[in-house]
Structure formats: structure tokens, C-alpha cells
């Protein structure tokens, strides 16, 4: 549905996006991650036909953003971190205005339908300037959905929303995935990305440095293991050190001590570790694989990129 092909974008000679390529398929949520200034917003704006690429091309639903930017815009719904509404307009008029811009056949009907969908039907006649932050973000989402686009570009949609509202928004985004929308989610909220993204694209200094399924990205790198035991942590570390395992202290629970170590070969290392600890008189309670969070994986990817 979205194909980004070797896209480069420069602003006054500064490269904001460099030879970026990735795709988003129908019924898929792809999280676009990266530090500030990595080119995430530029990428989503190019995909949405708001900005033209300096080089390369983007195909949305088979339409080139270079050849037919209006065709691309007609197929994309765009939500930014700031709702950016016309404060003097009432909700119904606002949504109907955008419905007309997108050539929707029954603008007023569509506006009412969307307001109902997002729980805003009781404030249709109210001016947008009087809306709360959460309500304004809902309006921005309704505006993006007004033409029922096959592609949704969400740029920090949950910024400044309270946790309950953010949860509601997440559920809504997931429901859109079920309706075969291709969704590109630009976010700094790695917890949100971990929960709903099928795949992840990591940008750093305008370049794509990692693409993969969320589960693959989380599983990348050395698997790490957590040991919980009764006894002295220093004695346990010494015992592991003697067989070449460098363990680090970890947060302990239930009065037990804990150590964390990473290994490429858990079959060999874990058995050896257990034997070494038992030989040293340490009472091992559990040895469990640690699941890396997307945040840990992302930080590791960035650290690697910086090196």
C-alpha cells in the first residue's frame, strides 16, 4: 500500500532524509521510530504528499507522489501531534468543510457519522476553540478519516493525551488495522509501538538503520537471562566469572538476590552457570530468559548506530 523507494529530502542543503526505503502493507501498523531530527515527520509528510521528495519516489496505493500528489493526498489521512483546528468553526461545519475538500458525496452526513464514531455527537454545534485537548485530538482523527482513506499517517497522535484517552486511541488504531488500513505510526512512545506495531522502522540521521517485525527487533542481539538465588551476590558473580560469564546485578524480588547475564549460546552457558553456582553453594531459585522490551532494543540499535 505504501512503498517508499530510495527517498531523499533536503532542506537548504541539509539532508533530512537519505535514501530511505520501506513499505507498509494493508492491514499492518508500522511504527516509525527515531530520535528527534531523525527524519520521521519529513518521511510521513512526503508519504502524505505534503512535501515533494528531492530524490526517489513514494507509491501510495500504486500512485506516485511525484506524478499525482493530489491522488496520493486523496488516499491518505494525516494526523499530526498538534490538532491544528480552526477554533472559530463548530465541529459539524469543520468536518463538513474537510469532507467537501475531499469530495465526499454527503459531507454533513459523513461529519455526523464520524462524530458519533468518536463520541463527539453531542458537541456538533460547539466551537472547536472550546474543546479540551483530548477532544481536539479526536477531531483531528475524525478529520483524517473523513474520506475513509486506505492509508493513515499518524504523527505522534497520542501526544499530550491522558492514559485513558491514549488507550482508547490505541484501540481505535487497532480497529482500523482490522479494516485493512495501512497505518504508519510515527512515535516516541515505544511502549505504544510495542503494543500495536506489527513492524518497526528505525531512522537515525535521516537513514533507515533497522527494519523488522516488532518481535524480531525485540529478539535481536544477545538473549539475556535473569538468575534469582538465595545467597551472596558477590559470591555468585565470582563463581560465574570463573567460568567466563560476566554477570551484572539486577533488581531483586522476594528477598532473593538477582544477576543478569547475556549469552549467544544459552544451551551451553546456562547449564555451566547452574553447575558453577550449585558447586559454590548458591541456592538457585529460578533461571529465566528475559524478554527485551522494544525500548531496550531501540536503545541498543541507536547505540550501535552511534558507534
Partner 1 sequence: MKWWLIAWREIRWEVFLDRASLLRTAIFVVIPIFFVFGNRGLPGGQAGEATIVALALQSVFFPSLAGVSLIAATFTAEKENGTLVPLLAAPIRDFDIVLGKLIGMVAPVLAACAVTLAAAYALASYRYGAERIAHTLTPQLIYALLVLSLLYLVTTGSVTMIVAARVRSSRAAQQLAGLVIAISAAVFGGLGVVASQLADGWALVAVGVLLVFFDVGALEIARRVWQRGEVIGRI
Q: Which residues bind partner 1 (CB under 8 A)?
A: 11, 45, 48-52, 70-71, 73-74, 76, 78, 80, 82, 84-89, 93, 97-98, 100-103, 140, 143
Q: Please tell me the distance from the alpha carbon of residue 197 to that of residue 32, in angstroms, as a whole number.
A: 9
SS3 per residue for 98-142: HHHHCCCCCHHHHHHHHHHHCCCHHHCCCEHHHCCHHHHHHHHHH
| Shortest separation between residue 97's beta carbon and partner 1, angstroms | 6
| Separation of alpha carbons 22 and 60, rounded Å | 12
- Kind and range of the H or E element at 36? none
Q: How far is the CB of 47 from partner 1 (least distance, A)?
A: 11
Which lies closer to partner 1 via its Cβ, residue 77 or residue 239? 77
Environment class of 29 (CB within 10 Å of its CB; exposed 0-12, middle 13-18, buried 19+): buried
Rounded to a whole number of angstroms, the minimum distance from the CB of residue 12 to partner 1 is: 8
Nearer to partner 1, 134 or 220 (CB): 134
Paired strand residues for 31: 185, 200
Grid cell locating 158: 497520542
Query: Rg of the chain over CA atoms, in angstroms?
Result: 24
- Residue 13: CB minimum distance to partner 1, A: 12
| Nine-digit cell string for 110 | 459523513
User: Which residues are within 8 A (CB) of 234 and not within 5 positions of it... i.e. 6 or more apart?
Assistant: none
Residue among 139 and 158 whose Cβ is closer to partner 1: 139
Going by their DSSP bridges, the two strands 28-33 and 199-204 should be labelled as: parallel
Rounded-to-integer distance, Cα 200 and Cα 71, Å: 27
Closer residue to partner 1 in complex, CB, 82/171: 82
Distance between CA atoms of residues 75 and 77, nearest Å: 7
Cβ nearer to partner 1, comparing 86 with 281: 86
Q: How far is the CB of 88 from partner 1 (least distance, A)?
A: 5
Q: Measured from the CB of residue 95, what is the shortest distance to partner 1 in angstroms?
A: 11
Contact assessment for residue 50 and residue 78, using Cβ atoms and an 8 Å cutoff:
yes
Going through 45-99 in order, the beta strands assigned E by DSSP cover: 55-60, 63-64, 76-79
For residue 283, give every residue at least 6 positions away whose Cβ sits within 8 Å of its Cβ, in sequence order, or none: 229, 230, 231
In the complex, what is the shortest distance from the CB of residue 94 to partner 1, in angstroms, rounded to a whole number?
9
Which residue, 104 or 258, is less far from partner 1 as judged by CB?
A: 104
**Of residues 86 and 275, the one with the C-beta less far from partner 1:** 86
Nearer to partner 1, 33 or 47 (CB): 47
CB of 51 to partner 1, least distance (A): 6
For cell 454527503, name the residue. Answer: 106
Amino acid at each position: 500500500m505504501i512503498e517508499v523507494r530510495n527517498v531523499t529530502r533536503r532542506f537548504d542543503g541539509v539532508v533530512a532524509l537519505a535514501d530511505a526505503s520501506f513499505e507498509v502493507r494493508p492491514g499492518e501498523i508500522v511504527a516509525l521510530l527515531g530520535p528527534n531530527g531523525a527524519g520521521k515527520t519529513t518521511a510521513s509528510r512526503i508519504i502524505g504528499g505534503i512535501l515533494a521528495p528531492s530524490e526517489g519516489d513514494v507509491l501510495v496505493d500504486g500512485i506516485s507522489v511525484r506524478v499525482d500528489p493530489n491522488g496520493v493526498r486523496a488516499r491518505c489521512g494525516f494526523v499530526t501531534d498538534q490538532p491544528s483546528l480552526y477554533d472559530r468553526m463548530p465541529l459539524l461545519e469543520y468536518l463538513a468543510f474537510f469532507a467537501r475538500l475531499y469530495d465526499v458525496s454527503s459531507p454533513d452526513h459523513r461529519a455526523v457519522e464520524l462524530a458519533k464514531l468518536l463520541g463527539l455527537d453531542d458537541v456538533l454545534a460547539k466551537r472547536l476553540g472550546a474543546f479540551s485537548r483530548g477532544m481536539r485530538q479526536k477531531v483531528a482523527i475524525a478529520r483524517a478519516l473523513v474520506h475513509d482513506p486506505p492509508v493513515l499517517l499518524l504523527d505522534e497522535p497520542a501526544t499530550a493525551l491522558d492514559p485513558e484517552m491514549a488507550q482508547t486511541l490505541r484501540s481505535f488504531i487497532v480497529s482500523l488495522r482490522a479494516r485493512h488500513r495501512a497505518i504508519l505510526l510515527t512515535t516516541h512512545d515505544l511502549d505504544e509501538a510495542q503494543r500495536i506495531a506489527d513492524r518497526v522502522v528505525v531512522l537515525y540521521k535521516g537513514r533507515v538503520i533497522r527494519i523488522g517485525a516488532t518481535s524480531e527487533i525485540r529478539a535481536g542481539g544477545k538473549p539475556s537471562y535473569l538468575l534469582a538465588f538465595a545467597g551472596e551476590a558477590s559470591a555468585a558473580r565470582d563463581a560465574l566469572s570463573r567460568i567466563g560469564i560476566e554477570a551484572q546485578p539486577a533488581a531483586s524480588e522476594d528477598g532473593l538476590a538477582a544477576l543478569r547475564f547475556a549469552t549467544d549460546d544459552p544451551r551451553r552457558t546456562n547449564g555451566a552457570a547452574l553447575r558453577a553456582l550449585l558447586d559454590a553453594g548458591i541456592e538457585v531459585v529460578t533461571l529465566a530468559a528475559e524478554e527485551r522490551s522494544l525500548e531496550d532494543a531501540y536503545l541498543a540499535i541507536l547505540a550501535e548506530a552511534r558507534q
